[in-house]
Amino acid sequence: MPTDVILWILGGLILISAVMSLALRNLIHCALFLMVCFLGLAGLYLHLNAVFSGLVQALVYVGAVGIILIFAILLTEGGGTETGSHLGSQWRTGIGLAVLLAFALLGAVSNSPQTTQAARHTEEPTVREIGLKLMTDYLLPLQTIGLLLTAAAIGAVVLAMQEPKPRKDETP
Amino acid sequence: MTGVLDILWLIPALPLLVSAILSLTPARVKGGAAPLSIGALGLGFLIACAALAEAVSDPGQVRAHNFTWFEFGSSAVKIGWVLDPLSALMLVMVTFVAGWIFVFSIGYMSHDENFTRFYCFLSLFTSAMLGVVMSNSLLMLFACWEVMGLASYLLIGFWHHRPSAAAAARKAFIYTRIGDIGFLLGMLWLYAETGTLLLYDNGAGCLEANALTQLAGAAISTGMAASTGIALLLFCGAIGKSGQIPLHVWLPDAMEGPTPVSALIHAATMVAAGVFLMARIHPLSTATASAKPIVTATAPANATAQSAQPAVRMEAAPKSQAHAEAAAKPTEAGGDSTSSPTLTLNVMAWVGALTALLASLVAVAQYDIKRILAYSTVSQLGFMFLGLATGGPAVGVFHLLTHAFFKALLFLGAGSVIHGCHEEQDIRRMGGLWRRMPATFGTYAVGMMALSGVPLLFSGFWSKDEILHSALAWSGSKWPFALGLVAAVATAFYMTRQMAYVFFGPHRGHPAMYEQGHRIPVTQPHESPMVMTLPLGVLAACAILLTVVGTPMWPWLHSVLSGHAPEVRREVSVGVLFAMLISILAAGTGFTAGWICYMRRRASGFNDGDPLQTRIPSIWRCLESRGWIDELYKMSFGIWTAAAGRFCDWLDRIVLGGGVRMIQNAALATAWMGRLWDEFFLNGGFARGCEQTRNSADRASLVQNGQIQRYLRILAGALALVALWIIWK
Amino acid sequence: MTFYLALSVLLFCVGLAGVLARRHAIMALIGIELMLNAANINFIAFWRHSSAADDLSGMFWMIFSVAIAAAEAAVGLALVILVFRHRRSVRLDELESLKG
């Protein structure tokens, strides 16, 4: 069953790279593994015949968010490894909780009544359809998200802008 | 009614204005003070002379000018001034004597840095004295009387840096105040009885017939007539002011002031104000219920004299006139003498005679030149009261006038001596001054002879003789006459003693001064400058010339004061001659005794005891310490006052203070209760509530430790729990 | 379908574990991105297996989620940079100025 094989491979890739991206000490490596994870997800979407979503995933996450992360890492810690422990003081509790939640949710998933396993749709919407939909039914969300993105961009610039004269009385 | 009456108010107003100006003048400006004051007084003197001429032209008439001072409710308080021979004579005397004393002060006070202030006070005093003299209302008189007391206080304490001067000023103020209480009470009583304090008010004044009849008729519970009570109370004021027994002790101490002050205030004018007051209210002190028939009896005689006088008159003073006539014409006054004198007159005569005797005896044993004169003043004031009581106003006032001149002369002479001897006041350190200070010596001798009563030439003889005569003829008792006679002898004696000490014998100043450690090179005593000797000369002349107005041959003064036209009397009665003989003998005895004691055996050194001291030491000691009257007061009133003070203090501290403390403690206890309630219940509740809120908030905030991962952990745990709960449901 | 849901759950828990266990602020952001992506998997999977495939809701949900994630990443990283400038550190356990 090639489809299932591809799925398992993709799923494994995603999980492993996700774990790696959170477990490594070197932040640059972490970011790179994160991008691998995102690529895996993009592949998953493609596999689900959601080409547009996969492309968006690849472009936005791998291209934009990943690059921003790397920039942020370089601007803060200079790309070096963390000094001291890279784990929080309560990391065992955190992981324990995450595992607990995973079991709970997995239990929930497995106990949920399996709806009819509808066949996977093979036809996919064209870009033209998507564009029409965006400009008609989803106009308001589109405008809202545009406003949000603009505000986030301006806000990020304002926050990160180097102040010409750092005031002395500012609380460090 | 005339121009003079209308401008009479200027006489006291001018010195008052000068005083006001000087009080605002800086102390360093010395130039204008004396000329200004003397000028004001000179102008006043001229007006007073015009007023005297006016008054004498019609002596029985009382011209009064009244006006309303203020009104309250329906009653109005009126004040005003009066012009009659008595006030006119006093005005002339005061302006004249005060003017010359002002001149003398130019020299005497020239070195004092408070020259201007001195003249300010002097002018204030003179103004007040003139106000007393001319006022037609007891209220105004009392006001001026008190201002006078204030000025006296200020001037006695003029050198207030000396403790003795400050104490003397205080003493004078308090002692006169004791008398003034009587004055005030009498005044209030008078107002309550008559409703007016005006003396003369066209028949409505309190010294006029209606009021006097009413007062004499109104009796209080003890049977004393209201007029007697009022007169006695007013006499209290006179006693205080004029330094009579028992309030005389302030006057000798008042000599701490500058000598011109002593001359002006405590010899010539202020102390005479008491005598003047009694002379002024003499109708009141003679008014008796039984005086009615006498009024009718003497009415024809008075009517002839008074019928021509239409305006306000002393119609209510027939008794006093009768007394005056008794003094002037003793042979005719036999009928009047038989009626016994009123209680007021009795008191006055006894007080006066006792004071005259005691003070003259004390004066014998004093060493301070001014203190001798002060006791002499007390003694002479006693004579005045004696004359006033026994012979009516004319007799007392005549002695007042003559005394004012010669006593001012003596004080100024003493001032000149003190000035010449460099502020030395002890007569034992003087001596032989007649060569060095001839002008002072001459004038002083005139004053001394006038005071002692050297016959014929000197005014003091005539006035004192008259007092003795009227006392002899008095219907009440002969004892006052005897006391007065002894006092007259003592007067001559102590004046001789003083002259001997001061002007004769060797000079005893220098060694003693060196003994005392005086650093300044002591020069010889020197004569005083012209500005000081000139007043002495003028006053000496007056002391002699004043004779002419009061001799038995031409009793001008008595006639004028009694409301008659003056007349020359051809014959002199036997009684007058007898009295003259007695008083000449008295003076002669005093002189001779003094001569024997002091002139023949002159003291040669400071430490030589007084001849009398060696002879009769016990009596001498008593006299030297002034009869221990101060000590007596200290032992009696002083102790009682102190005890009362301590009692009040005790009352205050223990009883009242205890009450106050109890209230205070109660308030404190209440406050504490409230505070405890607040602190332990209200505050406690609030505090506990607050604390618990705070603690719980603290505990709650422990969760908020700022660790974002902790928040996330909690979130995750909650999410896991929710998920598990969903599954197992 | 179960596969996608399980994958989503695991990815979410991995991201959660990263957020809870790592000290670095950027690592927390990475974890958040992973959790968002775990959600996105569900959107796409349910959309592709739903009966009404022509309804594009699932995809748009995913696209908007991606946009929000991008905005979040931008703002979050700007905040991290700002914090670093002020404190020279981006360790989460040292950031406790807001504690009660």
Q: How confident is the model at residue B515, as a pLDDT?
A: 44
CB contact under 8 A, A111 and B727: yes
Q: How confident is the model at residue B74, as a pLDDT?
A: 72
Of B703, B709, B716, the CB nearest to C92: B709
Of A88, A93, A101, the CB nearest to B723: A101
Nearest-angstrom CA–CA distance, B416 and B263:
12
The answer to whether residue A46 sits within a structural domain is yes
The answer to whether residue C56 sits within a structural domain is yes
CB pairs under 8 A between A and C: 223
Which residue segment(s) compose the domain that C42 sits in? 2-94
CATH of the domain at A55: 1.20.120.1200
The answer to whether residue A172 sits within a structural domain is no
Where a domain ends, among A80, A98, A117? Answer: A80
Q: Are residues A75 and A131 in the same domain?
A: no
Q: Are residues A73 and A134 in the same domain?
A: no
Q: How confident is the model at residue B553, as a pLDDT?
A: 64
The partner residues of B76 in beta bridges, in order of sequence, read B71
Residues in chain C with CB shorter than 8 Å from the CB of B695 are: none
Q: Are residues A70 and A131 in the same domain?
A: no
The answer to whether residue A53 sits within a structural domain is yes
**pLDDT (average), residues B552-575:** 69
Helix or strand holding residue A70 (H, E): helix A66-76
Of C28, C95, C99, the CB nearest to B704: C99
The fraction of chain B above a pLDDT of 70, given in percent, is 84
Nearest-angstrom CA–CA distance, B342 and B291:
10
Number of domains in chain A: 2
Where a domain ends, among A80, A115, A144? Answer: A80
**Looking at the complex, does the CB of residue C81 fall below 8 Å from at least one CB of chain A?**
yes
Q: How confident is the model at residue C25, as a pLDDT?
A: 84
Q: Are residues A136 and A69 in the same domain?
A: no
Where a domain ends, among A43, A60, A80? Answer: A80
Which residue segment(s) compose the domain that A50 sits in? 1-80
Q: Which of A87, A93, A97 to mutate to test the interface with B (most CBs of B within 10 A)?
A: A97
Q: Are residues A70 and A136 in the same domain?
A: no
The answer to whether residue A86 sits within a structural domain is no
**Looking at the complex, does the CB of residue C5 fall below 8 Å from at least one CB of chain B?**
no
Instruction: Count CA within 13 A, CB hemisphere, residue B17.
Output: 13
The per-residue pLDDT for range B629-656, each reduced to its tens digit, is 777 777 777 788 888 888 888 888 888 8
* Nearest chain B alpha carbon to C98: B706
Alpha-carbon dihedral angle through residues A104, A108, A109, A114, given to the nearest 10 degrees: 170
CA B35 vs CA B30, B49, B426, B506: distances in Å: 10, 21, 33, 40
Q: How confident is the model at residue B345, as a pLDDT?
A: 86
The answer to whether residue C99 sits within a structural domain is no
The per-residue pLDDT for range B691-702, each reduced to its tens digit, is 888 888 888 777
The per-residue pLDDT for range B25-48, each reduced to its tens digit, is 887 777 788 888 999 999 999 988
Contacts of A61 (CB under 8 A, 6+ apart): A35, A38, A41, A42, C33, C37, C66, C69
The answer to whether residue A85 sits within a structural domain is no
CATH of the domain at C30: 1.10.287.3510
The per-residue pLDDT for range B280-306, each reduced to its tens digit, is 888 888 776 544 333 333 333 333 333
Residues in chain A with CB shorter than 8 Å from the CB of C92 are: 88
* Nearest chain B alpha carbon to C21: B709
pLDDT value at C54 more than 60: yes
pLDDT value at B323 more than 50: no
Low-confidence ranges of chain A (pLDDT < 70): 1-2, 77-86, 114-121, 163-172
Q: How confident is the model at residue C98, as a pLDDT?
A: 65
The per-residue pLDDT for range A28-72, each reduced to its tens digit, is 888 899 999 999 999 999 888 888 889 988 888 888 888 888 888
Number of domains in chain C: 1
> Could you tell me the two tokens for B595?
């001569």
Nearest-angstrom CA–CA distance, A78 and A59:
26
Contacts of C66 (CB under 8 A, 6+ apart): A56, A57, A60, A61, C40
The fraction of chain B above a pLDDT of 90, given in percent, is 5
Q: How confident is the model at residue B312, as a pLDDT?
A: 37
Q: How confident is the model at residue A119, as a pLDDT?
A: 65
**pLDDT (average), residues B573-589:** 82
The per-residue pLDDT for range B431-462, each reduced to its tens digit, is 777 777 888 888 888 888 888 887 767 788 88
State the residue for tokens 């359809």. A129
Q: Are B470 and B326 in contact (CB under 8 A)?
A: yes
CB contact under 8 A, A153 and C74: yes
CA A102 vs CA A63, A107, B132, B238, B247: distances in Å: 30, 8, 123, 125, 122
Residues in chain C with CB shorter than 8 Å from the CB of A21 are: 18, 30, 34
Residues in chain A with CB shorter than 8 Å from the CB of C41 are: 41, 44
pLDDT value at B512 more than 50: no
**Looking at the complex, does the CB of residue C28 fall below 8 Å from at least one CB of chain A?**
no
CB contact under 8 A, C98 and B706: yes
* Nearest chain A alpha carbon to C27: A22
The answer to whether residue C59 sits within a structural domain is yes
The per-residue pLDDT for range B205-233, each reduced to its tens digit, is 777 777 777 777 777 666 677 888 888 88
**pLDDT (average), residues C40-53:** 82
**pLDDT (average), residues C79-93:** 79
The answer to whether residue C36 sits within a structural domain is yes
Q: How confident is the model at residue C11, as a pLDDT?
A: 92
Q: Which of B694, B703, B708, B719 to mutate to test the interface with C (most CBs of C within 10 A)?
A: B708
Q: How confident is the model at residue B513, as a pLDDT?
A: 47
Q: How confident is the model at residue C94, as a pLDDT?
A: 72
Of A94, A97, A104, the CB nearest to B727: A104
Q: Are residues A3 and A57 in the same domain?
A: yes
The per-residue pLDDT for range B395-408, each reduced to its tens digit, is 888 888 888 888 88
Of A30, A64, A98, the CB nearest to C30: A30
pLDDT category of residue B667 using cuts at 50, 70 and 90: very high
The per-residue pLDDT for range B70-94, each reduced to its tens digit, is 777 777 788 888 888 888 888 998 9
**Looking at the complex, does the CB of residue C55 fall below 8 Å from at least one CB of chain A?**
no
Measured in angstroms, the CA of A2 and the nearest CA of chain C are apart by: 15
Of A19, A106, A145, the CB nearest to C9: A106
The answer to whether residue C100 sits within a structural domain is no
**Angle, CA B544 vertex, CA B539 and CA B549 arms, to 5°:** 110
pLDDT category of residue B327 using cuts at 50, 70 and 90: very low
pTM assigned to the model: 0.61
CB contact under 8 A, C78 and A99: no
Q: How far apart are the first and last CA of chain A?
A: 59
From the centroid of its chain, how far is CA C71? 11
